[in-house]
Every structure is written in structure tokens, then in C-alpha cells.
């Protein structure tokens, strides 16, 4: 049996604190066919973040230059900071048959879904707004006013969940990860990207 595959563009999104980062890390650890697309951002680096691993941290001027060069698949201002997904991080890899994973905010995810209708979009939901607030406080990376803004934004983001192809509630990490992997396994066999040849 001969077969060829086109790379999958997997978009994982959800409100801050829903647990996207943990699920993404586990997926990348367990499935070597995926490459993580590192976004650019103008926000400051957090203590636990690594340059060019979690984000490309750039200046406002550098961001403007990339914008002028039409270098982004999508770009958005979120929580007062600018973010963008570089075309150079995505398209060449997909043409080589690699799967590309985007961990982006809902605003950026909507832009990608409009441009790339065959992308696999997954929205990660918290079990409740109370739990979301607890998680944002527990990770201890934002000030109180930033947490309040993220919680307020989360309500509007969750209202848009019907735009996504799949929904995963992250109440139990193991179950949520199993569901995410089931989506990935099924989508690898989707006829838009999997091309087996039945020989004589």
C-alpha cells in the first residue's frame, strides 16, 4: 500500500486558564509528527517562558515590520498585547507532510479558520467560571487587574465555541487528553489530507 499525507494544521484554542498549554505539551511529547508553531508577541516574557520556545518575544517596531511584510497568517491584539502566527512557521512544514500545531487565542483562531477551512479546530473549555478563576490565580503569572480582564474576556470567547469543529472540557486532565488524542487520530485519516493508493 502506497500512501501520502498532507500536513494537518491543528488549532487549539480556549480562554486563558482552560489548560491549553498542558494539553499541547502532552500532545507534543507523545506525538512526534507534530511541530509547534512558535508565535510572536510584544508582551513581556514570563519567568517560566523560554525565548523562541514558547514565543518569539519582539518589540513593537519589529512587529510593525512583520505586519508590513505580510508575514502573518493571523495577528491580533489580545489583553492589550499583540500576537501573530508567522507563515514561515506553518506552510513549508505542511507541504513537507508535517503536522503543525497552533496554540492561539480565540481571536487568532477565528482568523486561521477563515483562511484555512480544512484546519482542525479544537476549543478547550473550563468546567466552570469559578474553576477558571482559581486556575488563573494559582498560576501566579498576572496581576489582579489582568486576571479580571482575562475572566471578562473568557465569557465572550466561550460564547463563540460553536465556531470550532471540536470541543473538549478540561475537567479531568487524563480524560481531556484522551479526547484530544482521539480527535487527532481520526483527523489523520481524514480524506482531505490522507491519500492511500490501492494497488493491483
> Could you tell me which residues come within 8 angstroms of residue 29 by beta carbon, excluding any fewer than 6 positions away?
none
Structural domain includes residue 142: yes
Structural domain includes residue 42: no
Structural domain includes residue 135: yes
Structural domain includes residue 149: yes
Q: What would the pLDDT profile of 81-109 be if each residue is shown by its tens digit?
A: 899 999 988 988 888 889 999 998 888 89
CB-neighbour burial class of residue 153 (10 A; exposed 0-12, middle 13-18, buried 19+):
middle
Structural domain includes residue 118: yes
Within a 10 A sphere around the Cβ of 21, how many other Cβ atoms?
15
Whole-angstrom distance, CA of residue 191 vs CA of residue 195: 7
pTM: 0.84
Q: What pLDDT does 137 receive?
A: 79
Structural domain includes residue 120: yes
Q: Average pLDDT in the 110-133 region?
A: 92
CATH code of residue 184: 3.40.50.300
Q: Which of 117, 165, 158, 140 is nearest to 18 (CA)?
A: 158
Q: How many domains are contained in the chain?
A: 1
Q: Which domain holds residue 129?
A: 2-37+97-197
Number of H helices, E strands in the chain: 7, 11
Q: Higher model confidence: residue 1 or residue 24?
A: 24
Structural domain includes residue 23: yes
Q: What pLDDT does 189 receive?
A: 94
Structural domain includes residue 9: yes
Q: What pLDDT does 41 receive?
A: 93
Whole-angstrom distance, CA of residue 118 vs CA of residue 135: 32
Q: What pLDDT does 70 receive?
A: 92
Amino acid at each position: 500500500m502506497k500512501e501520502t499525507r498532507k500536513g494537518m494544521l491543528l488549532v487549539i484554542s480556549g480562554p486563558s486558564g482552560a489548560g491549553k498549554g498542558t494539553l499541547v505539551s502532552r500532545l507534543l511529547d507523545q506525538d512526534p509528527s507534530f511541530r509547534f508553531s512558535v508565535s510572536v508577541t510584544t508582551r513581556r516574557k514570563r519567568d517560566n517562558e523560554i525565548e523562541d520556545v514558547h514565543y518569539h518575544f519582539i518589540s513593537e517596531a519589529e512587529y510593525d515590520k512583520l505586519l508590513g511584510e505580510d508575514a502573518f497568517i493571523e495577528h491580533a491584539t489580545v489583553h492589550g498585547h499583540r500576537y501573530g502566527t508567522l507563515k514561515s512557521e506553518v506552510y513549508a512544514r505542511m507541504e513537507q507532510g508535517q503536522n503543525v500545531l497552533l496554540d492561539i487565542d480565540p481571536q487568532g483562531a477565528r482568523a486561521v479558520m477563515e483562511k484555512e477551512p480544512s484546519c482542525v479546530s479544537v476549543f478547550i473549555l473550563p468546567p466552570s467560571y469559578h474553576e477558571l478563576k482559581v486556575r488563573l490565580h494559582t498560576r501566579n503569572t498576572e496581576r489582579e487587574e489582568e486576571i479580571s480582564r482575562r475572566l471578562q474576556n473568557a465569557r465572550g470567547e466561550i460564547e463563540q465555541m460553536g465556531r470550532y469543529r471540536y470541543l473538549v472540557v478540561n475537567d479531568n486532565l487524563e480524560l481531556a487528553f484522551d479526547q484530544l488524542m482521539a480527535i487527532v487520530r481520526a483527523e489523520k485519516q481524514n480524506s482531505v489530507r490522507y491519500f492511500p493508493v490501492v494497488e493491483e
